[in-house]
Chain A
Amino acid sequence: EPEVTQTPSHQVTQMGQEVILRCVPISNHLYFYWYRQILGQKVEFLVSFYNNEISEKSEIFDDQFSVERPDGSNFTLKIRSTKLEDSAMYFCASSPNGYGYTFGSGTRLTVV
């Protein structure tokens, strides 16, 4: 069964550093998403991406965040200057049609 692959599985970074979280969506999917889950809290929507542009973003997704699909296969989330409160599990998801989603296994980001 096709999978969404996320790397790394765990990243530790110092506050103020930039991080890039990587995702390889399922190859024929057209819609891409990032969600995050702070420990003990709900899974929260960050951003959706379709047709090479952001289709929707949440209040969390401020100027510190950006997404790219640089080469047609990877889908990245960049956090420019990490804060302690960015520590969370980040999930990538993809969908062929905007209705059914496949999630990756997540990247646990720890900001110290």
Chain B
Amino acid sequence: AQSVSQHNHHVILSEAASLELGCNYSYGGTVNLFWYVQYPGQHLQLLLKYFSGDPLVKGIKGFEAEFIKSKFSFNLRKPSVQWSDTAEYFCAVKDSNDYKLSFGAGTTVTVRA
């Protein structure tokens, strides 16, 4: 199974700052990549996903992610965060021939007004 690394445990930033969260997975092959967000007290929600095609993926709420196959990376970005982006963000990877998602440890993002 994939091992997924998220580089930052906790990120604190001010509104309107740019956000980038790193995600790397352990080995190549055909993978499906996901970013989920978990707002306080709520369920995991899909922000965006990559299966194939354009490696720059746009998701909901102004988020985007870039798949760089050579670096086994799928970093999440948002140019200008809002207070409502305060949440925990999880990167997840699925091998195309597997049933399960492997999750990273998550990054807590705190946006200060």
Q: Which A residues form the contact surface with B (CB < 8 A)?
A: 4, 31, 33, 35, 41-45, 48, 50, 55-56, 58, 91, 98-106
Contacts and interface: CB of A to CB of B under 8 A. Distances in A.
Given A43-B92, A55-B99, A102-B46, 15 more contacts: A35-B101, A35-B103, A42-B104, A42-B105, A43-B90, A48-B99, A48-B100, A56-B99, A58-B100, A91-B43, A98-B99, A101-B34, A103-B45, A104-B43, A105-B42
Interface of B: 1, 32, 34, 36, 42-46, 49, 51, 90, 92, 94, 98-106
Contacts, number: 50
Interface SS, A side: strand
Of A33, A56, A103, most buried by chain B (CB within 10 Å of CB) is A103
Top 6 A-B pairs, shortest CB-CB distance: A105-B43, A43-B103, A103-B44, A48-B99, A45-B100, A56-B99
